[in-house]
A = this chain, B = another copy of it.
Amino acid sequence: MAETSTQGGETLLFLTDEQLRKGIEAMFFAYRGFTADPDRILDQHGYGRAHHRAIHFINRQPGLTVTTLLAVLGVTKQSLNRVLRTLIEDGLVENRVGRRDKRERHLYLTPTGEALERELSGAQRERMRSAYRAAGPQAVAGFRQVLEAMIDPDMRRHYQMMKDGS
């Protein structure tokens, strides 16, 4: 793939534009695969990818506030609210007033919401698991390292927050 050489103990990478381009295309096609299974499931339930994202992060960090979710998702509150409203109306998400700060609303999945979350993440994990298996353990480590290095600095704190569990 990328030829390497050592110079003064440091490993150098020779990356041609062509190699980088292949990485870009792999990213494009892989992301499509990554979202394909959830998209099918969501469609059956009458939801879209935006609902999935909300459900995912509420499940990941139960009780997070609307503002936090807004920052993680990187959308406007009007956009999020449209999605969140339907999820609350449909009884998938619950909205509890904050104990300390009563302005805040803390978001939780209901049992119904958790069921959908399991269905969605189950499919996604299955694809991820089989990709990991096909690529092997060494590849898995590299995969995460490169992805993490691609995350925007502004977003990295949100990623870390989720990663470490609040």
Residues on A lying within 8 angstroms of B by beta carbon are 1-2, 4, 11, 13, 15, 17, 20-34, 36, 53, 56, 60, 74, 121, 124-125, 127-152, 155-156, 158-159, 162-163
- The interface residues of chain B lying within 8 Å CB-to-CB of A141 are 1-2, 139, 142
In the complex, are the beta carbons of A135 and B149 less than 8 A apart?
yes
Known A20-B125, A132-B13, A158-B29; judge A140-B146 contact (CB<8 A): yes
* A138–chain B nearest beta-carbon distance, Å: 6
Copies per complex of this chain? 2
In the complex, are the beta carbons of B130 and A149 less than 8 A apart?
yes
Tell me which of B29, B34, B142, B159 contacts A140 (CB under 8 A). Answer: B142
* A119–chain B nearest beta-carbon distance, Å: 14
In the complex, are the beta carbons of A150 and B128 less than 8 A apart?
yes
Which residue in chain B gives the minimum CB-CB distance to A31? B31
In the complex, are the beta carbons of B137 and A13 less than 8 A apart?
yes
In the complex, are the beta carbons of A134 and B149 less than 8 A apart?
yes
In the complex, are the beta carbons of A132 and B162 less than 8 A apart?
no
Known A13-B133, A20-B125, A151-B33; judge A139-B140 contact (CB<8 A): no
- The interface residues of chain B lying within 8 Å CB-to-CB of A127 are 150
In the complex, are the beta carbons of A26 and B125 less than 8 A apart?
no
In the complex, are the beta carbons of B125 and A135 less than 8 A apart?
no
Q: Which of A28, A134, A136 lies at the interface centre, i.e. has the most chain B CB atoms within 10 A of its CB?
A: A28
* CA–CA, A96 and B35, complex, Å: 35
In the complex, are the beta carbons of A152 and B33 less than 8 A apart?
yes
